[in-house]
Amino acid sequence: MKTDWYKNAVVYQIYPFSFCDANNDGWGDIEGIISKLDYVRDLGVTAIWFSPLYKSPDYDYGYDISDYRAIDEKFGSMADFDRLLAECHRRGLKVIMDMVINHTSTEHPWFKAAVSSPDSPYRDYYIIRPGKREGQKLLPPTNWVSSFTGSAWERIGESEDFFLHLFCKEQADLNWENPAVRQEIADILNFWLEKGVDGFRFDVFNLFSKVFPIRDDEDKHTYQKGAQYFVDGPRIHEFLKELNARSLSRFDSYTVGESYRPSPENARAYVKEGNNELDTIFNFGHLEADNIAGLKFFRKPFNMMQFKKGLFDPQTTSWGEGWNTLVLENHDGPRCVNRFSIDTKHFRYEAATMLATVTFLGFGIPFIYMGQEIGMTNCDFRNMDELKDPVSHFVFDLMTSYHMPKSLAFRFIKYGARDHARVPMQWDGSVNAGFNRGHAPWQCMNPVYPEINVKKDLSSDRSVYRFYQKLLTVKKTNEAAVYGSVTEYDRENRKIIAYSREHEGKRLFVAGNFSKRPVRYRVPDWVKGASVLLSNYETLSDKDGALLLQPYQAVVWEETVRPEK
């Protein structure tokens, strides 16, 4: 049943809240998405990943699901979804659903039943443990910390019991040890696959399996207390294999797992062909090159070595063994043109196109986040009220509770906020950037929209979108760009990123300048005879026998290797 369709796929991620609001109520909706499908297809992508569309009270904007088989009313109805699916398929676009199954909303009927009585059979759907009595005080069962700050345990009413939540307290972790839970999940996947969806993105999948019995984390050196007991847990591989057998493998489906800092060995095993776990996972190592240990709010000077390692290591380890993905942006982080010490003010077009070129021609499936294809930028938020993501507020509150001045805390938050990616899509220069017809959007607009929007980009002779179209054509049609082995060049070079891809006698060479100044670069000899396939500048200059790559210039060469006699 299963084919390899995903191997030369290009995926576009839509965050439904902010894509297009057809009924002008302030929230993006399915009708709006349908109206823009031609735009998405024309970019050259072959699949769309929809961030959650399911019923949700939105404490974490859809990542807290209260009904896995219903579409949230603000987005439309199930009939609208069915139409969306058909409209995507009619255009040759596959549909990938987000599946948030590490936790449910606390408004999910399972959770409501679980907390309604200690005898409820649903009690064991979650991880519920008695607190620790210390004199008058009732402390949480363990010292585990939520990824969203604070204790990972929340007390159930006035009882002695607590439930585990590795994210918001409105997102209760499911107990995957319980076979009934695993069967429910397989049934949910089958429900959507039977409808005709083509695959899933699994939210934080490597947290499904926890170490039991639950215990305190005594490691003094970790800020994420508990992580050693819930990341890549002991039964995770078994759970994924089981899900595969019961659901995924029965359809021509594709899965990409979002993981929380997996170990390299586990990362490899999750995607190894024949392991029957996942087809791919996301790798975010390179996106930690300008922050401290993946803590988005803590800026550090861009570290090119770390970027290269994070980008290439997963490619070289998975090549020949499994498949890979390539990501610069998603709904959980700032815009790529505002990172990596880039001079966005002067070189937005060049940087947007260079980053895409050096990333997406690597080994793996490109994932493009809505707006990235026109070089959308971070939003110059004025105050905390403009940020809607609860995480921005949790972290701000934590910082100020340690007496950090509010203005400083705000600067940290602005650096890494997920909100940057969540402002409405900028379609044109009209009211609310054409996101809707004037109703105040749920999340403020980025005030730069009169300058940066789809309409303007498409009519510019330096259109990021049109560059993406060319790049994606190369990606999809050049076999070396899909299947080729990856060889990195000049890893020690702190300004230039360079690599080749090689497949059955065809070679590509890709080079990009990460500097706002021209940089001399000597390409390998074999590249001198190759032809330029793509570049984000019209010319290629030489200086003293080497290339002179312009600020953020990216160049792709193609060579046909003569087979050896």
- Catalytic option among 60, 161, 198, 258: 258
The residues near 393 (Cβ < 8 Å, ≥ 6 apart) are 384, 387
If the CB atoms of residues 333 and 551 are measured against ligand GLC, the closer one turns out to be: 333
- Please report how close the Cβ of residue 540 comes to ligand GLC at its closest, in angstroms: 39
**Contacts with ligand GLC, residue ranges (CB under 6 A):** 60, 63, 100, 167, 203-204, 258, 331-332
Nearest to 40 by CA among 60, 12, 68, 61: 12
For residue 63, the minimal CB distance to ligand GLC (Å) is 4
DSSP secondary structure code for residue 51 in this structure: P
Are the CB atoms for 351 and 552 separated by under 8 Å? yes
Identify the helix (H) or strand (E) that includes residue 40.
helix 37-43
How near is the Cβ of 210 to ligand GLC at its closest, in Å? Answer: 16
Q: Give least dist CB 419 to ligand GLC, A.
A: 12
Instruction: Retrieve residue 129's tokens.
Output: 């443990």
Minimum Å gap between C-beta 344 and ligand GLC is: 24
The minimum distance between CB 390 and ligand GLC, in angstroms, equals: 9
Catalytic (active site) residue 160: no
Which residues fall within 8 angstroms of residue 305, CB to CB, at 6 or more apart? 491, 492, 494
Taking the least distance from each CB to ligand GLC, the nearer of 167 and 369 is: 167
3-state SS of 99-148?
A: ECCCEEECCCHHHHHHHHCCCCHHHHHECEEECEEECCEEECCCCCECCC
522: left (phi over 0), alpha (psi -120 to 50) or beta: beta
Q: With respect to ligand GLC, which residue has the nearer C-beta, 167 or 557? A: 167
Cβ(175)–Cβ(110) below 8 Å:
no
Which residue spans within 445-553 are E strands per DSSP?
485-489, 496-503, 506-513, 519-521, 531-535, 541-543, 546-549
For β-strands 506-513 and 496-503, DSSP reports them as antiparallel
Nearer to ligand GLC, 63 or 465 (CB): 63
| DSSP state at residue 212 | S
Cα 543 from Cα 546, distance rounded (Å): 5
Active-site choice (203, 232, 290, 419): 203
Minimum distance, C-beta of residue 413 to ligand GLC, in the bound complex (Å): 16
CA distance 413 to 417: 6
**If you count them, how many residues does the chain have?**
565
3-state secondary structure string, 348-394? HHHHHHHHHHHHHCCCCEEEEECCHHHCCCCCCCCCHHHCCCHHHHH
- Helix, strand, or coil here: 201? strand
Is the Cβ of residue 101 or residue 358 nearer to ligand GLC in the bound state? 101
Q: What residues contact 369, with CB distance under 8 A and at least 6 apart?
A: 13, 15, 328, 329, 330, 331, 421
Nearer to ligand GLC, 225 or 331 (CB): 331
- We find the least distance from the C-beta atom of residue 217 to ligand GLC, in angstroms, to be 20
Residue 509 CB contacts under 8 Å (≥ 6 apart), including other chains: 498, 499, 500, 523, 524, 526, 527, 530, 556, 557, 559
Cβ distance to ligand GLC smaller for residue 295 or 540: 295
**Least CB distance from residue 333 to ligand GLC, whole Å?**
10
The nearer residue to ligand GLC, 5 or 59, going by C-beta atoms, is 59
Q: Are 131 and 138 in contact (CB under 8 A)?
A: yes
Chain position whose Cβ is nearest to ligand GLC? 63
Of the two residues 100 and 269, which places its CB atom closer to ligand GLC in the complex? Answer: 100
CB nearer to ligand GLC: give 281 or 533. 281
Q: Is 218 a catalytic residue?
A: no
In the complex, what is the shortest distance from the CB of residue 503 to ligand GLC, in angstroms, rounded to a whole number?
Answer: 33
Helix (H) or strand (E) holding 171: strand 171-173
- For residue 345, the surrounding DSSP H or E stretch is helix 344-360
Mind telling me the catalytic residues?
203, 258
